[in-house]
Every structure is written in C-alpha cells, then in structure tokens.
Amino acid sequence: KAGVTQTPRYLIKTRGQQVTLSCSPISGHRSVSWYQQTPGQGLQFLFEYFSETQRNKGNFPGRFSGRQFSNSRSEMNVSTLELGDSALYLCASSLGQGASSGNTIYFGEGSWLTVV
C-alpha cells in the first residue's frame, strides 16, 4: 500500500512569492497534519485537518494555511514567503484523530522549500 506522498520534493522560491505544497495521505486515512522542520527549531506542528476541516493549529502566522479535500488529499500554502520559511515541510496522515493503538501517524518524505 502506498505511503504518504508529497509533491513537489524540492522547490526554490523568491521572497514575497507564495507556494502551495501537496499531500496525498495513505489510502483510507482521514487525518492529515503538517509539520515544519528547520535546523534551529526542529520539527514543529503546523496544523491538522480531518474531514475537510482544520481541527488544530500550531503557533504559526496566518501566512501559513491549508485545506483538505473530500478525498482527504491536502494542500498547504505559504504566502509572502520569507527567508526564514526555508524548511522541510512534512505531511503526515493517520486513520483518525487522537492516539489509539491503531491510529499511528505516518510521515511522507517531505517537500524541501528554499526561499532566496
């Protein structure tokens, strides 16, 4: 069974531009969450979507947004890019919300964003 798929894998953007990253969760998974990883801050939670609704949000500015479609695929958008947005953006999926024995979170390979 295919894992979490993220596109694009690498991209370079200029300050002030906006970017959209895409994530296809594992088949049957309904919860999709996004994380940002930088050398200085480590892995940080951005937001989580379940049934097309944002259920939880981390401590990031409003420039970071996302959405989830009816097929559970998700996109995240970053507007007015800043140099500090350069990071590995990770998408993760799970069957449902919450921690239970069968509700493990699985990660994709990530999208490397470089802002110049």
The CA distance from 57 to 53, in Å, is 11
The CA distance from 83 to 81, in Å, is 7
What track of x and - describes contact with another protein for positions 20 through 59 (by CB under 8 A)?
Answer: -----------x-x-x------xxxx--x-x----xx-x-
Q: Which is nearer to another protein, 40 or 62 (CB)?
A: 40
The SS3 assignment for 83 reads helix
The CA distance from 110 to 35, in Å, is 9
Length of the chain, in residues: 116
What tokens appear for 3 in the block? 């894992």
Q: Shortest approach of another protein to residue 41 CB, angstroms?
A: 10
Q: Shortest approach of another protein to residue 27 CB, angstroms?
A: 17
The CA distance from 52 to 60, in Å, is 20
Based on the shown chain and the rule CB under 8 A, indicate whether residue 110 belongs to the binding site for another protein.
yes
Figure out which of the listed residues 90, 93, 113, 115 binds another protein, where binding follows CB under 8 A. Answer: 90
List interacting residues with another protein (CB under 8 A).
4, 31, 33, 35, 42-45, 48, 50, 55-56, 58, 88, 90, 92, 96-101, 104-110, 112
